[in-house]
């Protein structure tokens, strides 16, 4: 499957997301706080597409040092699209226009109390990208080809409730849910056109801290 960062990839992702009937959930069900995360589709130096992922600052109060997509809690009066673009600017200094939003994936309830809405955004230029040191330790690119490697994701049953733990592989590191679940759904739905659900996949216990 071609992964060149250009018109064909953008159109394929847009069409796949448009055809996908995403699953919406209410924050009122379990008192979850609404949040947005960004799946930013950027161009690598070799011309192929990649997703931007961050390593959270080790100085943060929660989830320190974990792999994460740019994003965060909605401010009062914000919708998820506005929050996603704001967080993208605050965390890694990218300011794509609203028309670069290609679509949304399923709402994902996290065990740390958030209802996370993933938003796919097309990035034309990484020239101004920079990590906000208060929130982000480093920024990385996951090539779409790497995202689709045959040995990823991995599913493991753990705990007394036999939760299905999901993790995605990136080079020699393991990325766990909720980020792994969102990456997996992006791969299947947005890139490959397979309508799957991922809310059943859990994070390991340590990832909730």
For the segment 35-83, what is each residue's pLDDT rounded down to a tens digit?
999 999 999 999 999 999 999 886 766 656 789 999 999 999 999 999 9
- For the chain, how many residues are written? 209
What pLDDT, on a 0 to 100 scale, did the predictor assign at position 62?
64
- Asked if 13 and 120 count as a contact pair (C-beta separation under 8 A), the reply is yes
**CA pair distance 140, 106, nearest whole angstrom:** 24
pLDDT tens-digit map of 134-151: 999 999 999 999 999 999
What's the chain's average pLDDT?
A: 91
Q: List pLDDT tens digits, range 154-194.
A: 998 876 666 888 999 999 899 998 999 999 999 999 999 99
**pTM value?**
0.93
Strands (E), the chain: 33-43, 49-56, 67-68, 71-73, 101-104, 108-109, 114-122, 136-143, 154-158, 163-170, 173-176, 201-202
Burial readout 126-140 (b: 16 or more C-beta within 10 A, e: otherwise): beeeebeeebbbebe
**Quick one: CATH architecture of 7-148?**
Alpha-Beta Complex (3.90)
Q: How many helices (H) and strands (E) does the chain have?
A: 4, 12
Domain boundaries, the chain: 7-148
What letter does residue 15 receive in the DSSP assignment? H
pLDDT tens column, 75-119: 999 999 999 999 999 999 999 999 999 999 999 998 888 999 999
Q: Is 85 helix (H, G, I), strand (E, B) or coil?
A: helix
Chain CA centroid to CA 112, Å: 16
Q: What are the φ and ψ backbone dihedral angles of 10, each rounded to 5 degrees?
A: -60, -45
Largest Cα–Cα separation, the chain: 48
């Amino acid at each position: 499957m071609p992964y060149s960062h250009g018109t064909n990839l953008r159109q394929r992702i847009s069409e796949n997301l448009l055809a996908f009937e995403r699953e919406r959930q209410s924050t009122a069900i379990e008192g979850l706080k609404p949040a947005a995360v960004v799946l930013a589709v950027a161009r690598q130096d070799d011309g192929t597409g990649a997703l931007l992922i961050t390593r959270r600052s080790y100085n943060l109060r929660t989830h320190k040092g974990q792999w994460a997509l740019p994003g965060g809690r909605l401010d009062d009066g914000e919708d998820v699209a506005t929050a996603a673009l704001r967080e993208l600017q605050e965390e890694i200094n990218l300011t794509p226009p609203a028309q670069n939003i290609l679509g949304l994936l399923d709402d994902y309830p996290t065990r740390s109390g958030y209802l996370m809405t993933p938003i796919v955004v097309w990035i034309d230029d990484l020239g101004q990208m920079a990590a906000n040191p208060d929130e982000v330790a480093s920024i990385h690119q996951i090539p779409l080809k790497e995202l689709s490697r045959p040995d990823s994701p991995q599913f493991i049953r753990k705990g007394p409730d036999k939760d299905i733990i999901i993790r995605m592989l990136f080079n020699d590191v393991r990325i766990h849910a909720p980020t792994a679940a969102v990456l997996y759904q992006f791969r299947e739905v947005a890139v490959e056109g397979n309508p799957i659900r991922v809310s059943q996949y859990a994070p390991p216990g340590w990832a909730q801290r």
